[in-house]
Amino acid sequence: MIDNLYADIGYHSLTKHGEIVCGDNVKKIDCPDGSVVLVLADGLGSGVKACILSTLTSTIISRMVAENLPISYCVHAIAEALPICSVRKLAYSTFTVISISPNGLAHIVQYDNPGIALIRNGKEVPLPFVRTTYDEKMIESAQVQLLKGDVLISFSDGAEHAGVGPGMSYAYGWGRDNIVEYMEPLCHVGFSAKTLNTILLDECYSRYDGRPGDDTTALTVYMRTREQVNLMIGPPANREDNEKMLSLFFSKEGKHIVCGGTTSKIASEYLGKPLKVSLDFEDDDIPAMGSIEGVDIVTEGIITINKVLEYANDYLKDNETYSQWCYKRDGASTISRVLFEEATDINFFVGRAVNPAHQNPDLPITFSIKMQLVRELAECLRGMGKNIRVSYF
């Protein structure tokens, strides 16, 4: 993308209270030319029927848009393909399509979903929508050049109506404009798309008193620049490779994270700067951090990374532990913030030296566990849409 522009994407759904499946669906397609297509569909009703309608809609449209077919074709194809509800005599699913080309040009098409918002410099900017009618359906479409820092927020009507329901305190729901107003000041804090999205849905959840009256989905796109981060863990299997591993690691652009006691020691020797270890025990479970001039983060190895992996797994599911790692100063939280929120490209430098002290049957840490941790963490980070490169030494 131009100027290293990168579309950071987050989406998640809350399922209507009492239903087992969600009637909203989000599909994301990464096209070979580097563009990305996103569709948020909301099927009529709730439960399995709605789920089928929205999944068909999002799947068909995303595929067709990815193949560059005109939107009129897509709308027609949906009308032909959706099964008609025997109760309501209707085949219906609302949708919002966002297609972003590698240079940051966005095509937005929406049909009956609450209006998508573009937030630029903390304020909503109106989108130049053009209205067209296909098959008696009024479709709005707009084109906009996205800039660094822009945030697009789209949501299903479950968010708009958050708080409506028996015994709930919001007679008219949260409201589209109120949601946008709530999100505006948060958009230039630097939160990742996933975090912004979680903040929005958390507010919906609490307005529904934990019992969503409708399927509620939000989709957030945050336009940012690529940010490379380098993480080194473990000394190389052969001592002679120390120099090679360290010089490659420190020649990389971006932040440098060094994990592990021995690893920190060889990094400090390589840089000729002392390794200092703090006595601040921020967290009971996580060992204190260290510091070396020239290294951004210095931590203990396996216990810290194990915790980062725990946070990463949760980030991809409910993101409930966000409330912990977002502010805590221990090593695992600090690494999590950099890897999950800041980084778009991460280089892992993994040394395969076996720490003889760790091969003790009394301890729950072994060499194979360390390799496993790194593999799983890399997988999770890929799942967050980041480019990951792992080199072994």
Partner 1 sequence: MTLTICIGSSCHLKGSKKVAQTFERLIEENNLKDKIEFHATFCMGNCQKGISVGIDDKVYSVTPETAEDFFAKEVLARLGK
Residues that bind partner 1 (CB under 8 A): 260-262, 264-265, 275-279, 281, 284, 287-288, 290, 300-303, 355, 357-358, 360, 363-365
Q: Shortest Cβ distance from residue 209 to partner 1 (Å)? A: 40
Nearer to partner 1 among residue 144 and residue 302 (C-beta) = 302
Q: Which of 107, 113, 108, 52 is nearest to 78 (CA)?
A: 52
CB of 302 to partner 1, least distance (A): 5
> With respect to partner 1, which residue has the nearer C-beta, 173 or 260?
260
- Per-residue 3-state assignment (H helix, E strand, C coil) for the chain: CHHHEEEEEEEEEECCCCCCCCCEEEEEEECCCCCEEEEEEEECCCHHHHHHHHHHHHHHHHHHHHCCCCHHHHHHHHHHHCCCCCCCCCCCEEEEEEEECCCCEEEEEEECCCCCEEEECCEEECCCCEEEEECCEEEEEEEEECCCCCEEEEECHHHHCCCCCCCCCCCCCCCHHHHHHHHHHHCCCCCCHHHHHHHHHHHHHHHCCCCCCCCEEEEEEEEEECCEEEEEECCCCCHHHHHHHHHHHHHCCCEEEEECHHHHHHHHHHHCCCCEECCCCCCCCCCCCEECCCCCEEECCHHHHHHHHHHHHHHHCCCCCHHHHCCCCCHHHHHHHHHHHHCCEEEEEECCCCCHHHCCCCCCCCHHHHHHHHHHHHHHHHHCCCEEEEEEC
Cα atoms in the 13 Å half-sphere on the side-chain side of 359? 6
Minimum separation from the CB atom of position 293 to partner 1 (A): 16
For partner 1, the closer CB: 8 or 330:
330
Alpha carbon distance 283, 328 (integer Å)? 8
Pick 212 or 261: Cβ nearer partner 1: 261
Q: Which is nearer to partner 1, 77 or 365 (CB)?
A: 365
Rank residues 364 and 383 by Cβ distance to partner 1 and give the closer one: 364
Least CB distance from residue 328 to partner 1, whole Å? 16
Give the nearest distance from C-beta 55 to partner 1 in angstroms: 45
CB of 287 to partner 1, least distance (A): 4
Q: How far is the CB of 35 from partner 1 (least distance, A)?
A: 44
Q: What's the min distance (Å) between Cβ of 142 and partner 1?
A: 54
**Nearer Cβ to partner 1 (248/365):** 365
Shorter beta-carbon distance to partner 1: residue 21 or 288: 288
Residue with tokens 């980084």: 343
Phi, psi at 178, each rounded to 5°: -65, -35
Q: How far is the CB of 263 from partner 1 (least distance, A)?
A: 9
Q: Which is nearer to partner 1, 87 or 279 (CB)?
A: 279
